[in-house]
Amino acid sequence: MSTEMKLKGRKALVSGSGTGIGREIALEFARQGADVVLHYAHSEAGARSAVDEIKAMGRRAEAFKANLGDVKEVQGLADKAIEFMGGIDSLVNNAGITFNKPFFKVEQDQFDTVFGVNIRAQFFLTQRVTKYMVNHGGGTVCNLTSIHGFSGAREHSVYAATKGAIIAFTRSLAVEMAHQGVRVNAIAPGWVTVDNYFKTIPGFNLEQAAKDAYNSVPVARAGTPMDIAKLAVFLSCDDSGYIVGQTIIADGGTTALMSLMTDFRTESKASFGKGYVPGV
């Protein structure tokens, strides 16, 4: 088994890395040899504890707070990260707000808040960081979107719109940046169990979640933050050097499953093709 660190010597900034997927990405980047700046808006304890873990690995790390609803703070986050590490060559845009509400009940300030954090902040953080990258040898950008950008779910019109925007933003920016030495790709996670589920979903517990995931996800389990962290490492290292502008879906087969075919583990009793296809 190879013990080579895929991100040795890299300098990374991971937004929204105080909890969940972002925190695991920051830790895995460090395990793979990178120095890491973490960002948090509310989860300071999680970000600070991750910093301690990363330092214990012998890497450099720091955590900075920034309100992603304020573009000046977004730009300031990039500047602080560059100053602390002496540069950035890997950016992971993980930060985002999950929001659900019936379409007719969505208010303008709710719309503006979700779009402000999920796409405007990502846009201007990337703008600031890639400007540095272009002038200092290139780098990689990995944007976190969601399967909500590919499949519809009730009460998620605003959230899904931001995630679809990230997919289009990734594709277009990648074409503009590739010849300047910056590769841009994205990850669209499916169901990944994170701390926020326990706070926002009434009665959520791991035992029932495992049963639900077994019945609804083709791979028979929910995803973990590490599933996404390993993919983020791949898209940020040299192994993915010819992958540009792509959104990689990591959802255990959720979007691959046709929703009309609810029982996907047993042989169908239907006989489509009878009379037309030999042997049916």
83-141 per-position pLDDT tens digit: 999 999 999 999 999 999 999 999 999 999 999 999 999 999 999 999 999 999 999 99
- Pick the more confident residue, 257 or 164: 164
Residue/partner pairs of 206-212 with CB below 8 Å, 24 or more apart: none
Confidence of residue 263 (pLDDT cuts 50, 70, 90): confident
Query: Does residue 269 have a pLDDT over 90?
Result: no
Q: What local confidence, expressed as pLDDT, does residue 195 receive?
A: 76
What b/e sequence results for 169-186 when a residue is b if at least 16 CB atoms lie within 10 Å of its CB, and e otherwise? bbbebbeebeeebbbbbb
Edge-to-edge strand ranges of the sheet holding 139-144 = 61-65, 35-40, 11-14, 90-93, 139-144, 182-189, 247-250
What b/e sequence results for 232-249 when a residue is b if at least 16 CB atoms lie within 10 Å of its CB, and e otherwise? bbbbbbeebeeebbbbbb
Its pTM stands at: 0.93
Query: Does residue 65 have a pLDDT over 70?
Result: yes
Query: pLDDT tens across 222-251, in order?
Result: 999 999 999 999 999 999 999 999 999 999
- Rounded to a whole number, what is the largest CA-CA distance in the chain? 71
Which residues, at least 6 apart from 197, have a Cβ–Cβ distance to it below 8 Å? 204, 209
| Cβ atoms within 10 Å of 273's Cβ, excluding its own | 10
Q: What local confidence, expressed as pLDDT, does residue 189 receive?
A: 97
Give the mean pLDDT of 254-266: 80
Give the mean pLDDT of 33-55: 97
Query: pLDDT tens across 155-207, in order?
Result: 999 999 999 999 999 999 999 999 999 999 999 999 998 877 777 788 888 88
Beta pairing partners, 82: none
Q: What is the 3-state secondary structure (H, E, C) of the chain?
A: CCCCCCCCCCEEEECCCCCHHHHHHHHHHHHCCCEEEEEECCCHHHHHHHHHHHHHCCCCEEEEECCCCCHHHHHHHHHHHHHHHCCCCEEEECCCCCCCCCHHHCCHHHHHHHHHHHHHHHHHHHHHHHHHHHHCCCEEEEEECCHHHCCCCCCCHHHHHHHHHHHHHHHHHHHHHHHHCEEEEEEEECCECCHHHHHHCCCCCHHHHHHHHHHHCCCCCCECHHHHHHHHHHHHCHHHCCCCCCEEEECCCCCCCCCCCCCCCCCCCCCCCCCCCCCC
> Sign (positive/negative) of CA torsion 206, 207, 208, 211?
positive
Q: Return the active site residues.
A: 159
Structural domains of the chain in order of their starting residue, each with its CATH number: 11-250 (3.40.50.720)
Q: What local confidence, expressed as pLDDT, does residue 1 receive?
A: 45
